Amino acid sequence: MSAVIDSVPDEFRPIVTSLLAGRDLELLKALQTREKPTLDQQEAVIDVLGDAFTEHFGPGHEPTEQGKLTDNALGAFLACWPSEDLADD
């Protein structure tokens, strides 16, 4: 069995794990034990990473390096788990 978190590319797994650990530990624990996220869990990941992204804007409302990393991590998560492949459990 491969857990949801394990499916996130190595490059982005630390940021996803860190943000979830600090903002929604229960969600992180669920994604460490499930093979596939639910639609609700995917939405929660979008909310957490999206909120983190908005905290990292620099001059001219351009994303900082941390913002870019967070945005890319969200994109990688969504690439692994597109909505059309998920069911609401």
Q: Please indicate, yes or no, whether the overall pTM of this predicted structure exceeds 0.85.
A: yes
pLDDT at residue 1, rounded to an integer: 64
- The backbone torsions φ and ψ at residue 55, rounded to the nearest 5 degrees and listed phi first, read -85, 0
Rounded to whole angstroms, how far apart are CA atoms 86 and 20?
20
Per-residue pLDDT of 35-54, as tens digits, reads 999 999 999 999 999 999 99
Q: SS3 of 82, please?
A: coil
pLDDT of 76 higher than 90? yes
Q: Given this model, what pLDDT does residue 84 score?
A: 84
Q: What is the pLDDT of residue 85?
A: 80
Phi-psi region of 62 (alpha: psi -120 to 50; beta: other; left: phi over 0): beta
Q: What's the rounded Cα separation, in Å, for the pair 49 and 28?
A: 12
d(CA 74, CA 10): 13
Q: What's the confidence (pLDDT) of residue 42?
A: 95
Domain ranges (residues) in the chain? 4-82
Is residue 74 pLDDT above 90, yes or no?
yes
